[in-house]
Amino acid sequence: MHPVLFHLGSFTIYTYGFLIALGALLGGLYMWRQGKKRYNMTFDQANTLFLLLIVAGVVGGKVFLIFENPSFYFSQPRELFSKNGFVFYGSLLTAIPVMLWYFKKNNLPVAGMLDVMAAVTCIVHGFGRIGCFNAGCCYGKPTESFLGVVFTDPVCQANPLNVPLHPTQLYEAITIFIILITLLIVERNKKFDGQVFLIYLILYAVARSVIEIFRGDIERGFLIKDFLSNSQLISLLVALVAIYFYIRLNKKRPIEVKK
């Protein structure tokens, strides 16, 4: 709706970038405070992890763009870095191994810290989706329902303009914040470390699969045209893996406490 937040002379502040930065700041503060409170995580540890995850998120989010149009990006690799936007699953699936490595390296409880990072991910992602709404990316299909939103600014990426579209960005943002609230409730009475993170993966995967039905930006890629998108396939795989580890860890039910 408002892709440009404001101008500072010749410098333009875009709403999408601003909200991503705000979400990252709030998420980083939450990570440090909760990590320190639960596992004596230092500020330097939190700051280093924050920077590593930014790099991992950018790299993974860009690399997964290749799956939208493999032949195009392999023939014109420069376009991969010139195009705006990221693939969330690319960022998430790249960030997870980085977190696992970092927590082990710094003797931090892996499963317990992943529970903290579930909320962090929701915070950053939720603000990011609001940014998507303002930028017009990740837009929905045309609709005649009362939920339809009309994008008119030619700077935004929504297509077509001046036609009511499903605000799938807001559908997802609202869903993510509902998931965040759910995670905070589960955190109070969790049965095992890692439970919160696995519930996050399962809930988001299900929600994303449903929201994909209303998406209109078909360039994101389909495994089976108009039936199974790349994101729905990834959601299915993520949910299955998360359910497997949930059942496995639920049998052990350990709660890690750093000594």
Average pLDDT rounded to a whole number, residues 240-251:
93
pLDDT at 259 over 50: no
Domain that residue 122 falls in: 15-252
Global confidence as pTM: 0.89
Residue 2 placed within a domain: no
Q: What is the mean pLDDT of residues 166-175?
A: 97
Residue 7 belongs to a domain: no
Nearest to 232 by CA among 258, 259, 191, 204: 204
pLDDT digits (tens, 9 = 90+) for 1-52: 688 877 787 788 888 889 999 999 999 999 999 999 999 999 999 999 999 9
What are 82-108's pLDDT values in tens digits?
555 678 898 999 999 999 999 999 999
- pLDDT tens digit string along 184-237? 999 999 999 999 999 999 999 999 999 999 998 876 677 777 678 888 999 999
Residue 259 covered by a domain:
no
CA distance 38 to 36: 6
The contacts of residue 208 (CB under 8 Å, 6+ apart) are 172, 231, 232, 235
Confidence (pLDDT) at 2: 81
Mean pLDDT, the chain, rounded, equals 89
The answer as to whether 221 is a domain residue is yes
What is the total count of domains within the chain? 1
- The answer as to whether 4 is a domain residue is no
Q: What is the reported pLDDT for 144?
A: 94
